[in-house]
């Protein structure tokens, strides 16, 4: 069942001025309830502009965006959309402002009207969901490591219990283990709560591991959308989008050029080893 329906969405910045730029052009895309969609594209491809239509920050210049049971053209619906669609910005720890981690996570749910015991429970739940230890909730955010700070910032959005969760490069700038752990937690959330997840990334290895479907954007246009494995095995599309194929996809391409054809394109080293072991 689709929970997001984007039809011919166009967005133009500064219309009617010399600075006019078409950020999105004629995008049509649906996102199903409970799936993880990865949105990939080079810097400036319009990924951020696109998702800002999904939580009410931007209104379409043309086209229609339907989310859950409403239309974002409706100003009243758009104003309230942040309660149901959580958007985690890139480097979200830069938005932390409270004296304790608890206070910061509580900011969003408090704005939805939650208070007291119910609020505290929400905060604890959200912290647990991202793997932030309970005792860290009382500390000053300035004392946390980069990875923990990122978790706290993500928990601040999770605590609003969004139906749709959008994350802009949640692993950017983190060491490999922290990055993996955060993405794993989000995957678990998607599976256990049925949350719809949109993952913005230019790291296609992440998309390969966590996304059901992959959409490629290029200069404000939708280049392709489909099952992750299918899109990732199309090196021509990835090249056109200005993205770097995952290691195993690039390896498959290089082997094919040398006359060695794998039965299918593996998406991670373990799968590649399985396919290669048969041939060796």
Partner 1 sequence: MLSGITMGQYLPGRSPVHRMDPRAKLLAAALVVPAILLAGFWPAITAVTLWLAVVSGLSGLRPGVYWRSMKPLWVLLLLSFTMQAFFTPGEPLVHLGWINISEPGLVQGALLLWRLGILLVVASVITFTTTPLQLTNGLEWLLSPLIRLRVPVRELAMIMNLALRFVPTLFDEARLLLMAQQSRGADFTHGSIRERVRGLVPFMVPLLTNIFRRADDLALAMELRCYQVGAPRSRLTELRFVAGDYAAIAATAMLLVFVWGTRLMW
Partner 2 sequence: MTSSNDYLIQFEHVFFAYPGGGSVIHDFSAGVRRGEFIALIGPNGSGKSTLAGLAAGALRPAAGWVKVDGMDTADPSVIGAIRRRVGLVLQNPDNQLVAARVEEDVAFGPENLNLPSPEVRRRVEYAIAAVGLDRLRDRPPHLLSGGEKQRLAIAGLLALEPSCLVLDEPTSMLDPRGRREVLGVLKNLVAKGTTVLQVTHHMGEAAEAGRVWVLAEGKLQADASPGTVFSRPELLQRLGLALPPAAELAGCLAARDINVPAGIVNLEDMVHFLCRALK
Q: Which of residues 22-61 bind partner 1 (CB under 8 A)?
A: 52, 55, 57
Phi, psi (degrees; rounded to nearest 5) at 84 = -110, -20
Task: Choose among 258, 246, 245, 255: nearest CA to 275.
Answer: 255
Beta carbon nearer to partner 1, 89 or 210: 89
Task: Using the rule CB under 8 A, give the single segment among 1-9, 11-19, 236-244, 272-280 that binds partner 1.
Answer: 11-19
Q: Does 21 bind partner 1 (CB under 8 A)?
A: no
Which of residues 74, 140, 188, 250 is near partner 2 by CB under 8 A?
250
Size of the site for partner 1 (CB under 8 A): 23
Cα–Cα distance list, 139 to 12, 29, 93, 98, 192 (Å): 43, 42, 15, 10, 29
According to DSSP H, which parts of 140-217 are helical?
A: 146-158, 176-193, 204-210
Q: CB 81 → partner 1: shortest distance, Å?
A: 9
Beta carbon nearer to partner 2, 161 or 202: 202
Q: CB 94 → partner 2: shortest distance, Å?
A: 11
268 with 248: CB under 8 angstroms?
yes
In total, the chain counts a number of residues equal to: 280
Q: Does 77 bind partner 1 (CB under 8 A)?
A: no
According to DSSP H, which parts of the chain are helical?
A: 47-52, 75-80, 101-111, 116-129, 146-158, 176-193, 204-210, 228-232, 235-241, 247-257, 269-279
Size of the site for partner 2 (CB under 8 A): 39
Q: Which residues of the chain form contacts with partner 2 (CB under 8 A)?
A: 42-44, 91, 145-147, 172-178, 180, 202-203, 205, 242-244, 246-248, 250-251, 254-255, 258, 260, 269-270, 272-274, 276-277, 279-280
């Amino acid at each position: 069942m689709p929970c997001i329906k984007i039809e011919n969405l166009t967005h133009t910045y500064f219309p009617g001025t010399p600075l006019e730029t078409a950020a999105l052009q004629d995008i049509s895309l649906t996102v199903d309830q409970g799936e993880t969609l990865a949105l990939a594209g080079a810097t400036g491809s319009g990924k951020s502009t696109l998702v800002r239509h999904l939580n009410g920050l931007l209104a379409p210049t043309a086209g229609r965006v339907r989310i859950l049971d409403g239309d974002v053209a409706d100003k009243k619906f758009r104003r309230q959309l942040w309660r149901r669609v959580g958007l985690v910005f890139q480097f979200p720890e830069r938005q932390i402002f409270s004296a304790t981690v608890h206070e910061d996570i509580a900011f969003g749910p408090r704005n939805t009207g939650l208070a007291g015991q119910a609020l505290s429970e929400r905060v604890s739940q959200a912290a647990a969901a991202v793997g932030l230890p309970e005792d860290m909730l009382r500390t000053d955010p300035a004392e946390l490591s980069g990875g923990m700070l990122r978790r706290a910032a993500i928990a601040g959005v999770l605590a609003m219990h969004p139906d749709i969760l959008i994350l802009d490069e949640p692993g950017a700038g983190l060491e490999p283990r922290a990055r993996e752990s955060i993405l794993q937690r989000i995957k678990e959330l998607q599976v256990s709560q049925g949350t719809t997840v949109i993952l913005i990334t230019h790291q296609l290895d992440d998309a390969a591991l966590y996304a059901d479907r992959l959409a490629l954007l290029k200069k404000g246009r939708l280049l392709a959308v489909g099952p992750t494995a299918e899109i990732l095995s199309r090196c021509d599309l990835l090249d056109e989008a200005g993205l770097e194929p995952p290691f195993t996809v690039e390896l498959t391409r290089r082997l094919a050029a040398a006359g060695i054809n794998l039965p299918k394109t593996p998406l991670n080293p373990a799968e590649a080893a399985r396919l290669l072991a048969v041939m060796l």
